[in-house]
Structure 1
Amino acid sequence: MAVSKFIEYIDDALEKSRETALSRLFFTYEGIPYPVTMCTSETFQALDTFEARSDDIVLASYPKCGSNWILHIVSELIFTVTKRRYEYPEFPVLECGDSEKYERMKQFPSPRILTTHLHYDRLPWSIVKNKVKILVIFRNPKDTAVSFFHFHNDVPDIPSYASWDEFFKHFMKGQVSWGSYFDFAINWSEHLDDENVKLILYEDLKENLATGIKQIAEFFKFSLTGEQIQTISAGSTFQAMREKSQETHGAVGPFLFRKGEVGDWKNLFSEAQNQEMDAKFKECLSGTSLRAKLKHDSYCQN
């Protein structure tokens, strides 16, 4: 994938982060906090005018749930089918960048890959209207929180938290970039059975990557042989992604692909925090189909 623009954008965001205190990292747009280093209110206003195509590919996730992993897999699927290496003339997160990007994106060849951390009801109307296919990736909330904390505290230029306990309080209140994990989950849970939406679990991909890639290919109607799926799978393991991360994502690469383990939360959560998040999960998602789909009992119990 052509990554110069991708790396350039990340480097620019890191440069802004270096001069930004944690208390000034967020601005709120329509009730949700976003990082000032990556998003602007002008871009959000322009996003309403974005013209989706019916063959666009949308990859939706809460931050630190595997969006870069899925982006790589889908890029490889497109390359395998079209023999055309997917180019990234813009940073692929739909809501990040300057307000003119949507005008420039009109020139991009199809299919365009659009990643997003937005709630379903914040997506541009044209995505809904054109029934664009949306792949939603979820990860259990405990590992998501731990990954988010390490990202903040390991990347040299990003404002860090005084401690895990401090970050945990902010995470539970939704006072982090893109807001509350639980609000995101509640919002998307209402649309996971829509015909143009498919849910995939980070944990399922970790367990059987080739099966996950086959399901993704089928959802987007990419026709691949078993051998092609195995080849993509071999190049898309967490280890393979990590080894190439500097080349694909620049200086931030090794931090984006830190551990990728399932159950890493057990190294940081106190028993009180464990109970607090279980209670929050139950309160927010007990009445939704997402509760069972997330396999909370498998991945979030000691």
Structure 2
Amino acid sequence: MALNEMENLKSDETPRVPVDYVEGILQPTPTCDIWDQIWKFQAKPDDLLISTYPKAGTTWTQEIVDLIQNEGDVEISKRAPTHIRFPFIEWIIPSVGCGLEQAKAMPSPRILKTHLPIDLLPPSFLEEKCKIIYVARNPKDNMVSYFHFQRMNKALPDPGTWEEYFESFLAGKVCWGSWHDHVKGWWNAKDQHNILYLFYEDMKKNPKHEIEKLAEFIGKKLDDKVLDQIVHHTSFDIMKQNPMANYSTLPSEVMNHSVSPFMRKGTVGDWKHHFTVAQNERFNEDYKKKMADTSLTFHFHL
């Protein structure tokens, strides 16, 4: 390869994946291109689906669920990186793979992942009465985390400045759409379907209790020792060092950890270091309006 060609491959020059709309929700165009296939995806009754708005504790939950299924055996959870162990059904990165194809090739029982709002979820998941785990995170921390994630992830649009991103997020003009609609849509569906609805803040506050809840939902009875082992292995500091969970195996042309690490802080209340007083007031006013029609409540600090 000529030197100038190698220069062009530098990760900071990798072009961003363009985006388009699916039913009014922004998605990377590779997803839009195969939307019909995604919508027709055939779930199986023993599929377990982990669903979240992006950057709401998805990878953390995946690791916990994997360890519950394997009764705390850490070695089994190191068999492959997260994105290989759990097909991300609507995701497609030409250089990395297609979640839909991965899912189809995977033997049952499968643990799958999605960020889709409930209205865009392939209908077969609800028809087959699949167990679904949904995790919601308070929107201020979620916004901050998503902003930094978009900075480092070339498979998503450039977030622009923090001020610009703040506006995009409030308007729901980010991939996977409005946070407010997402969390409310899944909340409204939880009583009609086989959905366990969890909160990131509860998982931070009392991980053992939430892991126990997850195990019960999945149908596993784990003793105290195994639960403690899972709590330890899925703590932020341990996962941050785990190449099978921290996305460091992806090429830097896709995720550039020198811009911002995939696992950045994993705390509750980091939004206070980003929001100005004026932004916080504006956010609170907007939040009050958009969340007036729901019983859903969030904790913005612990």
With the shorter chain as reference, the TM-score category is: 0.7 to 0.9
- 1:6 — aligned with what? none
Counterparts of 1:251-262 in structure 2 under 5 Å? 252=255, 255-262=261-268
- In structure 2, do the counterparts of structure 1 residues 168 and 60 end up closer, same or farther at CA, with 3 Å as the change threshold? same
- Aligned residue type for 2:179: Y
Give the Cα separation in 1 of the matches to 2:85 and 2:176. 20
Match of 1:276 among 262, 267, 282: 282
Unaligned 5+ runs, structure 2: 1-9
2:62 aligned with 1:64: no
- 1:219 — aligned with what? 217
- Aligned residue type for 1:264: D
- In structure 2, do the counterparts of structure 1 residues 78 and 125 end up closer, same or farther at CA, with 3 Å as the change threshold? same
State the shift of 1:154 in Å. 4.7
Q: Secondary structure at the match of 2:264?
A: coil
Which 10-residue stretch deviates more, 160-169 or 263-272? 160-169
- 1:43 — aligned with what? 34
* TM-score relative to the length of structure 2: 0.82
Match of 1:237 among 235, 238, 244: 235
Match of 2:270 among 242, 264, 275: 264
Tell me if structure 2 keeps the 8 A contact 1:56–1:133: yes
State the shift of 1:119 in Å. 1.0
Deviations 1:101-160 (A, max 9, x none): 646634422221111111112111110111111111000000011111122235589654
- Aligned residue type for 1:35: P
2:87 aligned with 1:92: yes
Q: Secondary structure at the match of 1:115?
A: strand
Match of 2:71 among 59, 67, 80: 80
Tell me if structure 2 keeps the 8 A contact 1:59–1:134: yes
Match of 2:170 among 169, 172, 182: 172
- In structure 2, do the counterparts of structure 1 residues 247 and 257 end up closer, same or farther at CA, with 3 Å as the change threshold? closer
* Structure 1 moving runs of 4+ over 6 Å: 14-17
Deviations 1:240-274 (A, max 9, x none): 11111477522546722100111000111112211
- In structure 2, do the counterparts of structure 1 residues 100 and 18 end up closer, same or farther at CA, with 3 Å as the change threshold? closer
More helix as a share of residues = 1
Give the Cα separation in 2 of the matches to 1:227 and 1:300. 29
Give the Cα separation in 2 of the matches to 1:27 and 1:16. 23
* TM-score relative to the length of structure 1: 0.82
Give the Cα separation in 1 of the matches to 2:155 and 2:104. 33
Match of 2:111 among 104, 110, 113: 113
Tell me if structure 2 keeps the 8 A contact 1:90–1:101: no
- Aligned residue type for 1:94: I
Tell me if structure 2 keeps the 8 A contact 1:137–1:199: yes
